[in-house]
Amino acid sequence: MELCRKLIGARYYIKGYEHAYGPLNTSTDYRSPRDKDGHGTHTTSTVGGRAVPHASALGGFASGTASGGAPLARLAIYKVCWPVPNKPKVDGNTCLGEDMLAALDDAVADGVDVVSISIGTSKPYPYRQDSLAIGTFHAFLKNVVVSCSAGNSGPAASTLSNTAPWIITVGASTVDRAFVSPILLGNGKKIEGQTVTPYKLAKKMYPLVYAGDIALPTVAKNVSGQCLPNSLSPSLAKGKIVLCMRGNGTRIAKGMEVKRAGGAGYVLGNSPAHGAEIPVDPHVLPATAISSDDAIKLRSYISSTKKPVAAIGLAKTVLHTKPAPSMAAFTSRGPNIIDLNILKPDITAPGVNILAAWSEAISPTKFEDDPRTVKYNILSGTSMSCPHVAAAAALLKAVHPSWSSAAIRSALMTTAGLMNNKGTELLDPYGKPATPFQFGSGHLVPTQAADPGLVYNTSTTDYLLYLCTIDPSISAPFQCPDKIPSANNLNYPSVAFPRLNGTATVTRTVTNVGGRGRSVYFLTIRQPKGFKIKISPSVLAFKKIGESKSFSVTVEVKGDAPPRPSGEYEFGWFTWSDKVHNVRSPIAIAMA
């Protein structure tokens, strides 16, 4: 009976898949809503799983009470993703547009309040070609909140998925927890790694080698250090700890190659592109992972030492690590090339090394030759951050059932945090300040979102007028007016001026939802480098709940600013405050 009250619906959608690929191979997945992949179980439990004491990943890592973000929420499952024929499960599934559209139509008809979609694309698609943009617009029309993953194609710019303004687009950031596994070197120095591998080496030093030095002669030099399948010489790897570099291939598969070649242990070294981001894995042999800076140190030790040796320490869970949160290297980034006038992503949330439930129908690594099963698994991705925001939206829907989906999105965005637990600004994986093209309005702070003070509401007409600026034929049968407002005039909680030529002005409208009704908000502005922001009026006085006030945002180039290259962005912020609420919005500006 408990299960019946929690899981109130489950459907599957396979017609599009089978039209494209032929009948499902039922040895690879269930022809039902059941999960034989793990990803859906993980994201679903993150949204609304009940509190479970004594939960932990393989090896006892992250032990404690696990709970979804909205543990009392009821769940309806709509399965749309299926295995790609003749490809291993670890390479991911495919999700056909027609199946996703059918699922979204049914979800809306079923009366769901919030939809969490941990599905991304390899590149952004125009709205007309984007099934999720189309389907989620219909969800918006029924006031359904939709949270979607930004994608895992970072750190490259302009890689975002799910960029439509009626979607909450979610990036990924870290939490203040690490799974520390130190590497002790023969020279007495120690390098801190991370892992959730349950296996341990004997308490002794092992020979340490770099994969590129023990690769078979047939392996290309540019990938020789990456431990790709069948790349290592067993005679040179046997009994040693092998340093493998990230790049091509999966992290788990690199460890499997070391094990195949007879290696005793495995160190995964980040490439410079991955910086200090360390997603942990349940490897099949003793292993740990290290940052790009530490990988350089370890390679230097190997190359400069006649007989390099090392030991990998047993991992342990460490809480309250600093700095956190910080941005993940993999999280897809703006600017939003589908429409530069809409600043995306909208927000970031925990998406690195997240513990959640897992299907026992598949191993924790998804490899067929991995016999292990688990009830909980640790994963990283914007697939993990998206359900955190969906859960917060569900809680807001419960607290404020009359709010629009746009108001809920606004509340989440304008109350998001910009500081880490060291009291400094959010950082990227390279230790540099992150930007709104990585985190949007900031890191999710759900406790603040319940009382945001002011919200930016967006109506159906607002969106239809916005679509008129993209392609008037999209908004049919709505008749676009002769004079269409500019796209960046959409009443969004962030502002973008992507092609500034001289001076530009947009209008925003906020609605009072805080306090007892009477409130006065004062303005503060953090000016972007080389530009000047003017906002009028600079004071907003409200007499009652539900009252709305408009203001203009004008941007111009500072007179003494040096010439700027076209498309090079600077960022600023403006905040409305009544000494109780701080309603903050980012601004992105680039010259034409």
- What is the per-residue pLDDT across 105-128, written as a single tens digit (0 to 9) for each? 999 999 999 999 999 988 889 999
* In the predicted structure, residue 185 carries a pLDDT above the cut 80: yes
Whole-angstrom CA distances from 448 to 279, 297, 564, 583 are 28, 42, 37, 10
- Tally of CB atoms within 10 A around 487: 21
Domain with CATH 3.40.50.200 in the chain: 7-172+324-450
Whole-angstrom CA distances from 24 to 85, 124, 243 are 8, 28, 40
**Cα–Cα distance measured from residue 100 to residue 162, given in angstroms and rounded to the nearest whole number:** 13
Per-residue pLDDT tens for 160-181? 999 999 999 999 999 999 999 9
* In the predicted structure, residue 99 carries a pLDDT above the cut 50: yes
- Tally of CB atoms within 10 A around 164: 24
pLDDT at res. 66:
97
**Cα–Cα distance measured from residue 414 to residue 409, given in angstroms and rounded to the nearest whole number:** 9
pLDDT at res. 1:
42
Q: Rounded to two decimals, what is the model's pTM?
A: 0.96
Per-residue pLDDT tens for 197-234? 999 999 999 999 999 999 999 999 999 999 999 999 99
Domain with CATH 3.50.30.30 in the chain: 178-318
Instruction: Assign domain 7-172+324-450 to its CATH superfamily.
Output: Peptidase S8/S53 domain (3.40.50.200)
CATH code 2.60.40.2310 for 494-591: yes
Is 276:291 a contact under the CB 8 Å cutoff?
Answer: yes
Beta strands in 60-167 (DSSP E): 64-66, 75-79, 81-83, 93-95, 114-117, 145-149
* In the predicted structure, residue 54 carries a pLDDT above the cut 60: yes
Least confident of 134-148, 331-345, 509-523: 509-523
Is 491:456 a contact under the CB 8 Å cutoff?
Answer: yes
Q: What DSSP state is assigned to residue 486?
A: P
Q: Which residue has the tokens 């159906």?
A: 460
| 588: Cβ contacts below 8 Å, ≥ 6 apart | 334, 335, 343, 436, 437, 494, 495, 496, 497, 498, 569, 570, 571
* In the predicted structure, residue 183 carries a pLDDT above the cut 50: yes
* In the predicted structure, residue 560 carries a pLDDT above the cut 80: no
Give residue 204's identity as a one-letter amino acid code: K
At residue 468, the 3 state secondary structure works out as helix
pLDDT at res. 121:
86
The confidence band for 475, taking pLDDT boundaries of 50, 70 and 90, is confident
Q: Which CATH number fits domain 178-318: 3.40.50.1100, 3.50.30.30, 3.40.50.720, 3.90.230.10?
A: 3.50.30.30
DSSP H helix total and E strand total for the chain: 13, 29
* In the predicted structure, residue 8 carries a pLDDT above the cut 80: yes
In the chain the first and final C-alpha atoms are separated, in Å, by 61
Alpha-helix residue ranges (DSSP H) falling in 188-291: 234-237, 251-260
Q: Mean of the pLDDT values across residues 52-64? A: 96
Q: Mean of the pLDDT values across residues 99-104? A: 98
Domain with CATH 2.60.40.2310 in the chain: 494-591
The confidence band for 4, taking pLDDT boundaries of 50, 70 and 90, is low
More confident of the two residues 564 and 405: 405
More confident of the two residues 4 and 379: 379
- Tally of CB atoms within 10 A around 545: 14
* In the predicted structure, residue 98 carries a pLDDT above the cut 60: yes
| 86: Cβ contacts below 8 Å, ≥ 6 apart | none
pLDDT at res. 284:
96
At residue 421, the 3 state secondary structure works out as coil
Q: Mean of the pLDDT values across residues 236-254? A: 97
* In the predicted structure, residue 342 carries a pLDDT above the cut 80: yes
The confidence band for 519, taking pLDDT boundaries of 50, 70 and 90, is very high
The confidence band for 476, taking pLDDT boundaries of 50, 70 and 90, is confident
**Cα–Cα distance measured from residue 564 to residue 553, given in angstroms and rounded to the nearest whole number:** 21
* In the predicted structure, residue 539 carries a pLDDT above the cut 90: yes
